[in-house]
Amino acid sequence: MNILVTGGAGYIGSHAVQRLLRDGHTVVAIDDLSLGHREAIDALTDHAGDRLVFEKASVGETTRLETLMGDHDIDTVFHFAAFASVGESVAEPLRYYRNNIAEGIGLLEACNHAGVGRFVFSSSCATYGEPADEHIPIRENCPKNPVSPYGQTKLDFERILEAWAEARRNADEPVAVTMLRYFNVAGCDRTGILGEDHDPETHLIPVALEAALGKRDGMAIFGTDYPTPDGTAVRDYVHVEDLIDAHVRAMEHMQRNGASTPKAYNIGIGNGHSVREVIDSVRRVSSVDFPVRDEPRRSGDPARLYADSNLVTRDLGWKAQITDLDAIVDSAWQWMQRHPNGYEAT
Ligand code: UFG
């Protein structure tokens, strides 16, 4: 198949490009390189021959994308490109609405012009906000009350996709949409080609690994008074390769089943680890002890978020394969040790 991957040079998008190439597909990757890394694409090009095309482009460049989709006979879009930092979205909401919503609409217009109706969207558990205890583990029908502009943009784009799909269906145009609500994506490609490289890094596992590597002077635990067994926040850490497998299954399912109403699925391993458990894992995997200080809660951080993923198991046969926290952490540790300065120095 021929797949357009937006955000193809980013952490998650590059892992999708790798998997699709490995499966024998042809990939057109676009990225505006504002956050993505050209080096990630270069690392994949060596193995891809002419099955990988990269263009520095943003998802809002409708005419250009329409041409790209037509030229390469694209049949499916994986839409990863987005700003995805919760705290930043609170400080700069307009940037988030412009990038995640307005630019995304440009992409859908290009799909219309090029006649592309199969679409997999990177949504987020941030669409749920702070679920009440009775909704843990979180099912797809849990009330949606995002507490950040980031989460709101993901929920709004889900609604836009639903309206887009209905309009295409009414016009007898082919359409099939899957929306995957990611929990905490972690780890790296276990062949060691791709990694996670954000600037600044704020995510728990890479922050702790940077502390183990001596790149930072220890780290903070944000909140030790949550109503959880050890007082720290609990999250569902899903390995990036498992996450991408869900996209591939969604694409194959949509191809087999033709037109369908948009479906949303939670993508998580189905249980949670506390911040302290993650730090313990990083200490075990790296064999390095590093200083940890207790700090107040980060605003907008829910106490517990983990998925009930039964729906995606039932419909797509997906289940996380890498469920051992140390294995997830180790995959990230291997890459970070070899790339202490991220992609820059490769
Ligand atoms: N944490 C620390 N210290 C750190 C970094 C994080 O204690 O230095 C804590 C956070 O407070 C949180 C947990 O570790 O309790 C996980 O934090 P991350 O920043 O790694 O991830 P989040 O759960 O905040 O964010 C993730 C995704 C977002 C998504 C969000 C939904 O990265 O894209 O889940 O809540 F929106």
Nearest ligand 1 atom, CA 148: 36
User: pLDDT digits over 50-83, tens only?
Assistant: 899 999 999 999 999 999 999 999 999 999 999 9
DSSP state of 173: -
Residue 345: its pLDDT value, please?
A: 66
- Mean pLDDT score across all residues of the chain: 96
User: pLDDT digits over 78-105, tens only?
Assistant: 999 999 999 899 999 999 999 999 999 9
Task: Tell me how far CA of residue 323 lies from CA of 26, 108, 134, 267, 327, in angstroms.
Answer: 30, 35, 24, 13, 8
- Quote the radius of gyration of the chain (alpha carbons, Å): 19
Q: Is the pLDDT of residue 344 over 90?
A: no
At 118, is the pLDDT very low, low, confident or very high (cuts 50, 70, 90)? very high
Give the Å distance between the CA of 143 and the centre of ligand 1.
21
Atom 27 of ligand 1 has which residue's CA nearest to it?
184
Domain positions in the chain are: 2-184+238-267, 204-235+270-306+322-345
User: pLDDT digits over 9-60, tens only?
Assistant: 999 999 999 999 999 999 999 999 999 999 999 999 987 888 999 999 999 9
Atom 25 of ligand 1 has which residue's CA nearest to it?
184
Q: Which residues are catalytic?
A: 150
CATH classification (class only), 204-235+270-306+322-345:
alpha beta
Residues with CB under 6 A from ligand 1: 84, 86, 124-126, 150, 184, 202-204, 207, 219-222, 233, 235, 275, 298, 301, 305
CA 52 to chain centroid: 21
Give the Å distance between the CA of 303 and the centre of ligand 1.
11
Atom 5 of ligand 1 has which residue's CA nearest to it?
204
Nearest ligand 1 atom, CA 84: 33
Where are any strands of DSSP class E within 152-290? 176-182, 184-186, 219-222, 234-235, 237-239, 263-267, 273-274
Mean pLDDT of all residues in 130-144: 97
Is 0.95 surpassed by the pTM of this model?
Answer: yes
User: pLDDT digits over 284-298, tens only?
Assistant: 999 999 999 999 999
Atom 7 of ligand 1 has which residue's CA nearest to it?
221
Q: Is the pLDDT of residue 129 over 70?
A: yes
Name the pairing type of β-strands 234-235 and 273-274: antiparallel
219 touches 282 (CB < 8 A)? no
Mean pLDDT of all residues in 185-195: 96
Name the pairing type of β-strands 263-267 and 273-274: unpaired
User: pLDDT digits over 205-215, tens only?
Assistant: 999 999 999 99
Give the Å distance between the CA of 203 and the centre of ligand 1.
6
Give the Å distance between the CA of 86 and the centre of ligand 1.
9
Nearest ligand 1 atom, CA 207: 8
Give the Å distance between the CA of 253 and the centre of ligand 1.
31
Atom 19 of ligand 1 has which residue's CA nearest to it?
203
Q: Is 178 helix (H, G, I), strand (E, B) or coil?
A: strand
AA letter at 82: A
* Whether the domain at 2-184+238-267 and the domain at 204-235+270-306+322-345 fall into the same CATH topology: no
AA letter at 62: T
CATH code of 2-184+238-267, in short, is 3.40.50.720
